[in-house]
Amino acid sequence: MERESQELASRAAVDRETLVALQSDLVTQKLNTQQLRSSLEKMGLDLDQLMEPDVALETYVLSECKVMPHVA
C-alpha cells in the first residue's frame, strides 16, 4: 500500500512538471505567433494568405511596388 502511494505521488509530480512545461511551451508559441502575425502585417500580409503562397507573394510584391515606385 505504501509503495502504491509513493508511485502515485511520483506520477502526480511528473504530471505536474509536464503540465507546467506544456503551459510554458504554449505561452511561448502564442507569443511567437503574435510576433509572426505582427511582422506579416507590417509587410501587408495576413497569416491566412500564406495558405495560398501565390496570393501572398502577389500581395507582397504589389505592396512593395507602391512603396518603391519604379524609377526610369
- Tell me, what's the pLDDT at 41? 85
72 belongs to a structural domain: no
HSE of 43 in the Cβ direction (CA atoms, 13 Å)? 16
Tell me which DSSP letter residue 44 carries. Answer: T
10 belongs to a structural domain: yes
Q: Distance from first CA to last CA of the chain, Å, rounded?
A: 86
Could you tell me how many helices (H) and strands (E) the chain has, helices first?
Answer: 2, 0
- Tell me, what's the pLDDT at 61? 76
**pTM recorded for the entire structure:** 0.56
Q: Which residues of the chain have pLDDT under 70?
A: 49-51, 53, 56, 66-72
Residues 6+ positions from 60 with CB-CB distance below 8 Å: 43, 44, 45
- Tell me, what's the pLDDT at 56? 66
33 belongs to a structural domain: yes
Boundaries of domain holding 15: 2-67
12 belongs to a structural domain: yes
How many angstroms separate the CA atoms of 67 and 60, rounded? 11
Question: What is the total count of domains within the chain?
Answer: 1
